[in-house]
Chain A
Amino acid sequence: MSTFFTSRLLFISLALVVIAATLPLYVSGYVLGLLTVAFYFGVFAMAWDLLFGFAGEVNFGPTFLIGVGAYTAGILNAQLGWSVYACIVLGALASVIAGLLLALPALRVRGPYFGLTTLVAVLMLQNFIVVFADLTGGEIGLTIPDVISINAGTNYWIALGFMTISAAILYGLSQSPIGLVLQASGQDPVQAGALGFNIVKHKLAAFVVSAFFSGLSGALLVFYFGTASVGTVVDVAVGVNVIVAAVLGGRRTVLGAALGAIFLIVAGEFLRPTGELATFIVSAVALLVVLFFPGGFLGAALSREART
């Protein structure tokens, strides 16, 4: 990737963020609400891309990390009445711990086995939420008394700011020497190890960072919705959407993942009139992209840029 393009990418993203920041001045609250969710979703997808695109680990259970963060924050607030900000921080921390617990054994296994372990983790979390319904609200969901703000504009700005900062950190990390080592160990672990890099340590670090941002975003989302439920933050289908968003936008690009997430959420809204077929259409489009444009949106743009 040439420095020229990097700087242009930076310029375009900055311009987009500035335009996005002015939206609350002339757009309805409904659109803002939609985009707020899309921005949190974008962070999920970027955090996932750091693991998959760079560390080469397919995490089939992004919602395990998201769900642990979201539910920890929600339960602390609903059951113990702790303040919103303490809950959000603790939610992110819980997610990091859960990520470590998951990663330590899972990183011993490769490829499909890793993917499976993460998928099983989601199913376990889902089961435990349903079993301990007194604490978690079970299948109905947990109602959370506090919210960050009731103003649509404020919520929108918080989400946008959070996504921008996360994107800057995650993208910076992916372009840093750590990101390069991750990429090398994802593509050829044996050779990267032979060059003297501690692969396990790097992958563990990637997992912790991914878990931190997933958990933080999950906790923020819960305080935006005012409720935590299996259907919104834990279900395997939500995880699939995160993966689809990252692959659609272009894996190994971090920023593409956010684009993919925003596209998915907005497209889902446009397809709402088609009713039950909406999920079908989104899946079909995603499958076509996977089959014919494996690089995704940003991947296609980057390769065109590289040719000219």
Chain B
Amino acid sequence: MRAFQILIDGFAISALYALGATGFTLIFGVSGVLNLSHGAIMVAAAVAAWAAASMLGVGTYAGALIGVAVALLTAFATYFAVVKPIQDSRRIPNEEKEIFVLTGTLLWGIMIQELIAYFFTNNAKTVLPIVEGVVEILGVRTPRNEIFTAIVCCLVIALLWLLVNRTRTGKAVLAASMNPRGVTLLGLELTNIYIVVWAIYGILAGIAGVLLGMFLGVSSYSVGPLTASAFSIVVLGGLGSVSGSLIAAFVVGYLETLTAYLVSPAYRTIPALLLLVFVMYIRPQGLLGRR
């Protein structure tokens, strides 16, 4: 009974983590950018969906769409206002650009977080779920919303896989992650590929944010923990490796659920952090990462 409950709850959480981390790792794989405003973008999507649905009263579907659109716009703003200027800057030495991107996106994330707190307060917000009600699976009462979350996450990840492996654009993205110079030599504009990747990222982060808002609720305080959890999942799986992130998301998701059910919800994040430190000691490049 309890085993089934852990199995089901853990799956939904893990799928959500996987979706959130996939976009993050994709950006790193293709353009070498670690976007520390990740959590802020997810929260912005959830808060926008919440505001549209409950303050403007546009309905849950339109609210969710607005949330994803806000995430997409914020992702583009992050790229054009913060990341691109640093990458193009001549005053910042090349070997320090990585650090500047980290600092810049971190500050940007804090700005988004503060704006959300200013306009929508720090209170936790739960987005109205698209599907309601409860069903019994294997004797466990499960909210339909939880099943919906898991299904959407898996579908979106499958779509992403198709996009990257089966379309021309996707193949260009894949090629850029392997050898950026080779791609430019083939006559493809690298900036265009980056824009595509940031668009994919924005949509993924938006969907993940809105689903998170429906499933667990968000507040402006979630920004830091969300970035940290995406960061640790991605590093556990290996920076830039999408399949590694997927595996790591399930490891972390189940580890957290097990701890919450069997030990205490207060210790929820500790085992995952310990695992992360352990992995960094023995295999710094992560489970499936390249050095």
Contacts and interface: CB of A to CB of B under 8 A. Distances in A.
Contact of B99 (A58, A108, A240, A279): A58
Contacts of B266: 130-131
B270 A131 contact: yes
A112 interface: yes
B117 interface: yes
Contacts of B285: 113
Given A113-B235, A277-B118, A294-B89, A105 B280 contact: yes
Contacts of A286: 107
Interface in A243-293: 243-244, 247, 276-277, 279-280, 283-284, 286-287, 290-291
B118 A291 contact: no
Interface in A111-166: 111-113, 115-117, 119-121, 123-124, 127, 130-131
B106 interface: yes
A129 to B, nearest CB: 12
A208 interface: no
Interface in B255-291: 266-267, 269-270, 273-274, 276-277, 280-281, 284-285
Contacts of A247: 103
Nearest to A53: B96
B92 interface: yes
A56 B287 CA distance: 26
Contacts of B269: 123, 127
Contacts of B95: 56, 187
A65 interface: no
Contacts of A236: 224, 228
B281 A105 contact: yes
B118 A109 contact: no
A287 B104 contact: yes
Contacts, number: 105
Contact of B284 (A113, A237, A244, A284): A113
A52 interface: yes
A111 B224 CA distance: 21
Nearest to B280: A117
Interface in A81-127: 105-106, 108-109, 111-113, 115-117, 119-121, 123-124, 127
Nearest to A276: B118
A62 to B, nearest CB: 13
Contact of B110 (A56, A108, A240): A240
14 contacts: A105-B280, A109-B280, A115-B102, A117-B280, A120-B280, A123-B273, A131-B266, A131-B270, A240-B110, A276-B114, A280-B110, A287-B108, A291-B89, A294-B100
Q: Please give me the 9 A-B residue pairs with the lowest Cβ-Cβ distance, nearest first.
A: A280-B114, A109-B284, A287-B107, A283-B110, A294-B92, A283-B107, A105-B281, A283-B111, A279-B114
Interface of B: 34, 82, 85-86, 89, 91-92, 95, 98-100, 102-104, 106-108, 110-111, 114-115, 117-118, 224, 228, 231-232, 235, 239, 266-267, 269-270, 273-274, 276-277, 280-281, 284-285
Given A131-B266, A236-B224, A240-B106, 16 more contacts: A56-B95, A120-B228, A120-B232, A120-B273, A123-B228, A124-B273, A237-B224, A244-B103, A277-B114, A280-B110, A280-B114, A286-B107, A290-B103, A291-B89, A294-B91, A294-B92
